[in-house]
Amino acid sequence: MRHRRGGALALTPRNLDPDQCLILLHDKGSTVRWQPVSPTLVTHLRDHAEQRGAAASGGQLLRFTNGDPITTRRYDHLFTRLGNHLPWVATQQISIHWLRHTTLTWVERNFGYAVARAFAGHTNNNGDSATTTYTRASIHEIASALAALTGEPHPTEVSLATGPLAGISIRNQLPGQVTSIGTGGAMAAVKVSVEGAELTAAITKEAAADSHLEVGSSVMALVKSTEILRSRRLQDERGSEDFVKKV
């Protein structure tokens, strides 16, 4: 929901990279960028495309139940319709703009201005200050913020090793077992079952081959400690309430 309307409505199935959990957005001003998304969201987008005919046609991804592309009017009135079924949505005046603003406010407070700016897809222009011009966030920093926000490790933030490693800065080394390996153009999406969860790591196909990974292989999933700590803190802030309701 942090994306502008034009970028969302312009999505096609070809704009999804499920291996790395990225989507290609075409924003206003002819801006094109890869945006990290959660594994849950990319899975639902793929299912939506399959169920509503977008995958077969290759056209607009978001569609009505009858398979027709969703219109701007329907997109704009989505939360009006939700408010008819969920009174708290109407009471708190929840909207796509509200979700975008709330998300970016949280990202800026926890990860800084540069990450929030990149998270929102803001690009440099002639009106930017020198500080803004030279303060930029990488896609990995955006993915870290997303992982902390959603509580789901992002594939670009998960590495794999065939055994425990010493002398590295990543402190969370989780033993697990490979459950599936999916390959794309240059990348491999390796799903690993760890205690109480399943993680996905996006690595190159060459790395997967060099490590002799296969279903059933024992590996160590390496997840940044800052990502884990931020995710846990966010869960504590949420308590037992739904995140949207609490914010």
Q: How far apart are CA 128 and CA 159, in angstroms?
A: 36
**What would the pLDDT profile of 214-224 be if each residue is shown by its tens digit?**
999 999 888 76
Domain ranges, ordered by start, for the chain: 5-150, 155-226
- The per-residue pLDDT for range 84-107, each reduced to its tens digit, is 999 999 999 898 889 999 999 999
Find the Cα–Cα–Cα–Cα dihedral 227, 231, 232, 235, rounded to 10°.
180
- Angle at CA 17, nearest 5°, toward 187 and 11? 160
Tell me the two tokens of residue 95: 């909207």
Count CB-CB contacts under 10 A for residue 233: 12
Question: Does CATH place domain 155-226 in 2.60.120.620?
Answer: no
Residue 234's Cβ-side half-sphere holds a number of Cα atoms within 13 Å equal to: 24
**Token code pair at residue 127:** 């009106």
How large a percentage of the chain has pLDDT more than 90? 34
Tokens 């790591």: give the residue: 201
Domains 5-150 and 155-226 fall in the same CATH topology: no
DSSP-derived 3-state class of residue 240: coil
Q: What CATH architecture applies to the domain 5-150?
A: Orthogonal Bundle (1.10)
Upper half-sphere CA count for residue 236 (Cβ side, 13 Å): 6
